[in-house]
Structure 1
Amino acid sequence: MLLPVAAAAQPHPDPDWPCVQRYVPEIGAAALWPEAPGGDWQDDPGVAALVGRIAPRPVEAEQGLAAIRDFAAPLDAAARRRLLPLAFRGVLEETNRQRDAVIDQIRRYARRQHDLAGRVRELEAALRAAPPPAREELEQRRFFAAKTYADAERMLRYACEVPVRLEGRLGAYARAMQAAMPQG
Structure 2
Amino acid sequence: MSRSKSLGIALSLMLAAGSGHAADFSDPTWPCIQRKVPTLSVGLMWTHPLPDAPETDPDLKRDIDRLAAKLALRRLEVEALRPDIEEFAARHDGAPDILGHVFQRVFTTLSTRRARVISGIEEFSLSQIALSERIDTARAEMTRLTDAEDPDYDRMDALEEQLDWDQVIYTDRQSTITYLCETPTLIEKRLYSIAQILQQQIKEPG
Q: Same fold, TM exceeding 0.5?
A: yes
Structure-to-structure mapping, 1:88-103, within 5 angstroms: 88-103=103-118
After superposing the two structures, state which structure 1 stretch, 20-29 or 48-57, moved more. Answer: 48-57
2:29 to 16, 22, 26: 16
For the residue of structure 2 that corresponds to 1:138, the secondary structure is helix
1:123-156 superposed Cα distances (whole Å, 9 cap, x missing partner):
1112211246344442232122112112111213
Residue 170 of structure 1: how far off its partner (Å): 0.8
Contact 1:25 1:100 in 2 (8 A): yes
For the residue of structure 2 that corresponds to 1:22, the secondary structure is coil
Q: How high is the sequence identity, in percent, across the aligned residues? A: 27
Runs of 5+ consecutive residues of structure 2 not aligned to the other structure: 1-25
For these two proteins, the number of residue pairs brought into alignment is: 170
Residue in 2 aligned with 1:65?
82
1:110-130 superposed Cα distances (whole Å, 9 cap, x missing partner):
121111111111111122112
For the residue of structure 2 that corresponds to 1:166, the secondary structure is helix
Give the alignment's TM-score, normalised by structure 1. Answer: 0.79
In angstroms, what is the RMSD of aligned CA positions? 2.4
Contact 1:32 1:174 in 2 (8 A): yes
Runs of 5+ consecutive residues of structure 1 not aligned to the other structure: 1-12
Give the alignment's TM-score, normalised by structure 2. Answer: 0.72
Residue 106 of structure 1: how far off its partner (Å): 1.5
For the residue of structure 2 that corresponds to 1:73, the secondary structure is helix
For the residue of structure 1 that corresponds to 2:176, the secondary structure is helix
Rg: which structure is higher? 2
Q: Does 1:39 align with 2:52?
A: yes
Residue in 2 aligned with 1:5?
none
1:6-64 superposed Cα distances (whole Å, 9 cap, x missing partner):
xxxxxxx9652232211212111121111341234554222122112221444432444
Residue 166 of structure 1: how far off its partner (Å): 0.8
Residue in 2 aligned with 1:3?
none
Distance 1:15 1:109, change over 3 A: closer
Contact 2:50 2:97 in 1 (8 A): no
Greater than 3 Å deviation, 4+ residue runs: 39-43, 56-60, 62-66, 134-137
